[in-house]
Amino acid sequence: MGDTPLTSLPGCGPKLAEKLAARGLLTLQDLWLQLPRQYEDRTRITPIGLLRPGDTTQVEGRVQAVQRGFRYRPVLKVAIADDSHGTLVLRFFHFRSAQVNQFRVGTRVRAYGTARPGQNGLEIVHPSYRVLGEDEEEGLGESLDPVYPAVEGIGPVSLRRFIAEALDRIPGDDELELLPATMREGLPSLREALLTVHRPPRDADLAALLAGTHPAQRRLALEELLAHNLSLRRQRIARRAHAAPALADPSLALALRESLPFPLTGAQARVFDELRADLACPVPMLRLVQGDVGSGKTVVAAMAALLAVAAGRQAALMAPTELLAEQHMANLAGWLEPLGVRVAWLAGKVTGRARAAVLEQIASGQAQVVVGTHALMQEGVEFASLALAIVDEQHRFGVHQRLALRDKGVAGGAVAHQLVMTATPIPRTLAMSAYADLDVSVIDELPPGRTPVRTVALAASRRPQLVERIRAACAEGRQAYWVCTLIDEPEEGAGAGAAMRIEAEAAQTTFERLSEQLAELRIGLVHGRMKAAEKQAVMAEFKAGGIDLLVATTVIEVGVDVPNASLMIIENAERLGLAQLHQLRGRVGRGSAESSCVLLYQPPLSQTARLRLETMRETNDGFLIAERDLELRGPGEVLGIRQTGLAEFRLADLARDADLLPRVQALADELLERAPETADRLVARWVGGATRFAAA
């Protein structure tokens, strides 16, 4: 029954079936598992006066004023109020004249949506709404309305109808259930769980459903997490069936270690030993090295690269931004060239004859270590014998890109080892599940002598005082960053460069303003739209102490290392996520001087923004911050799943369902051991076509 194609549903012709198929919806079972992302609660009405930013709810009021205007694009604003002394603006960007005429002062309107701070108090952009007649008795919803992920080309009403039709044909538990009864103790059967989440019964615990903690949801989350865990473990087994070069000679790596001006921290030494043990085996390594910003991952990577070189092979180090890649290049050249190792550089901006020369060195094996950006993965880059692909700040790359680099090392059935480094610590819960296919090492110690960064949050109105503070700090010989962030979202569809342009403009304006206010300081500017050579020159000048205050965009977010800089100001900090704030703040506190970070924000703060800033004030611990980030944003965002193509769950939520994970591990062990064919069916049911994205 589950395998029945969707064309068997009334009204679902080949055209619609094709659109559903584009979303991976091929069979009745796929529709059963097309679970609601959330619910809309129309069972009650919230008084407008009690609305808070971020609330998603239903309101009812009378129209107070209607305004039709044009700012960049047409806009319709309808202010409504109820007798709770609140006013709310309904704002529309797409509307027809007939719609405008519906709204007259005094008209009763019922609307549903998410309240956000707007120019005139709270507003809901594009609410779903209904105009009510003067004496109309409009009842409230009796249960929650499921909201399904959109399918392009199919309206929500048709989609709901198809799902309902599919649910009408759901078979009994004897056909549907894959988990043995002992494994789902205390939770409902799959059939019951599916029917409950798709069609919440009137007497269901609605609060639990809205929170995602209803036993029906727990049951589905358990099965989904189990399927993902099984799928990742299968991939790991498949990967380890390949061969890889054994890199067993540590002499060069140890020589580097001897030549460093500092001893490795205990954590660095331990992680290097873990890498060394992996790389000595003829089985492809896939290891994630996590370490907070400043924990010294680069030198560990360099030592690993030398294991490849000592075996007569090549290593590549790829970084997500040019600025970071350049810095790695400078570090690696400084460390490795004295040992007689040849380090080559490749970025998109290397063109023409220079590029041809580098490609030749890579292809001949003359270049033993290659550092660069995405350019390393491009066609035409052929390695003589790549044995180790190192990817820095992996959350910025997709899985595909990482694999593209690894596959440059495929030769005669063997593949390159992979080392992935990230400063965005992955909370333990995530590492256990989303990364079940890779091994994880943690550098959980900072080099000695670092002092934690003192962090304060300041309303933007206190900027003048801040300017004085910078003046005083720089007079003492300290250096500072002033980070400008995106102040306006680019228009939709404006293209990838738009955000960078807007950021660059903001930085330019700030640069000019600060140059006037702090005329006695040497102020520099760096943003993503500058030429690589210009950026490099400014950074070098800053590092050499020739610039006191560096106005920058978030291009400096990753990796930039200037130990003497001890003050950082981040503008519009409320707009940034925790991971990004932590990364940025990691640019200071690298030397022995006491450092501080000022988070400038534009009030009023949303609840989440307030929590983020508080977290930043309270702790410097990247792992704690990551845990909090996971709670606030959810795992999809934390892992950058949209970019990485890693598992996106239908229902499970790694933060909310974290307590299920130990059980998931145990169940996975048991199934693989006792019922591997059930394991396969679970993977096919839940993950199905998605595995091809995560193939690692």
Closest CA to 190 of 209, 166, 201, 174: 174
Q: Which of 184, 218, 239, 297 contacts ligand ADP by CB under 6 A?
A: 297
- Separation between Cα atoms, residue 627 and residue 153, nearest integer Å: 38
Rule CB under 6 A: say whether 505 interacts with ligand ADP.
Answer: no
265 binds, among ligand ADP, Mg ion, none (CB under 5 to 8 A by kind): ligand ADP
Q: Which of 79, 225, 403, 423 contacts ligand ADP by CB under 6 A?
A: 423
Closest CA to 374 of 417, 413, 408: 408
Q: Which is nearer to ligand ADP, 86 or 296 (CB)?
A: 296
- Separation between Cα atoms, residue 285 and residue 280, nearest integer Å: 10
Q: Which two tokens stand for residue 696?
A: 């690692």
- Give min distance, CB of 580 to ligand ADP, in A: 15
Stretch that binds ligand ADP, among 64-72, 214-222, 263-271, 355-363 (CB under 6 A): 263-271
Please, which of residues 1-60 interact with ligand ADP by CB under 6 A? none
Reply yes or no: is the peptide bond before residue 604 cis, omega within 30 of 0: yes
- Separation between Cα atoms, residue 512 and residue 481, nearest integer Å: 15
- Per the DSSP assignment, residues forming a β-bridge with 645 are none
Closest CA to 657 of 274, 353, 113, 220: 220
For 300-310, b/e burial (b = at least 16 CB within 10 A) is bbbbbbbbbbb
Sign of CA dihedral 507, 513, 518, 519: positive
Order the strands of the 314-318 sheet from edge to edge: 343-346, 369-372, 314-318, 386-392, 417-422, 286-291, 439-443
Contact mark string toward ligand ADP, 431..470, x via CB under 6 A: ----------------x-----------------------
Contact mark string toward ligand ADP, 364..403, x via CB under 6 A: ----------------------------------------
8-state DSSP, 605: P
Q: Which of 180, 262, 468, 592 contacts ligand ADP by CB under 6 A?
A: 262
Q: Which is nearer to ligand ADP, 63 or 267 (CB)?
A: 267
262 binds, among Mg ion, ligand ADP, none (CB under 5 to 8 A by kind): ligand ADP
Q: Which of 235, 265, 401, 553 contacts ligand ADP by CB under 6 A?
A: 265
Q: Which is nearer to ligand ADP, 461 or 592 (CB)?
A: 592
- Give min distance, CB of 428 to ligand ADP, in A: 19
- Give min distance, CB of 323 to ligand ADP, in A: 13
Q: Which is nearer to ligand ADP, 393 or 574 (CB)?
A: 393
What contacts 213, CB < 8 A, 6 or more positions away? Answer: 656
Q: Which of 127, 296, 635, 645 contacts ligand ADP by CB under 6 A?
A: 296
291 binds, among Mg ion, ligand ADP, none (CB under 5 to 8 A by kind): ligand ADP
Q: Which is nearer to ligand ADP, 579 or 679 (CB)?
A: 579
- Give min distance, CB of 257 to ligand ADP, in A: 10
Q: Which is nearer to ligand ADP, 293 or 658 (CB)?
A: 293
Residue 423 CA from chain centroid, whole number: 13
Rule CB under 6 A: say whether 561 interacts with ligand ADP.
Answer: yes
- CA-CA-CA-CA torsion for 381, 384, 388, 390, nearest 10 degrees? -20
Report residue 13: phi and psi, to 5°: -80, 180
Q: Which is nearer to ligand ADP, 34 or 268 (CB)?
A: 268
Q: Which two tokens stand for residue 406?
A: 């690894």
- Separation between Cα atoms, residue 401 and residue 394, nearest integer Å: 10
Rule CB under 5 A: say whether 559 interacts with Mg ion.
Answer: yes
Q: Which is nearer to ligand ADP, 264 or 600 (CB)?
A: 264
- Separation between Cα atoms, residue 554 and residue 136, nearest integer Å: 54
- Give min distance, CB of 447 to Mg ion, in A: 13
Which residues here bind ligand ADP, judged by CB under 6 A?
262, 264-265, 268, 291, 293-299, 423, 447, 559, 561
Binding site for Mg ion (CB under 5 A): 559
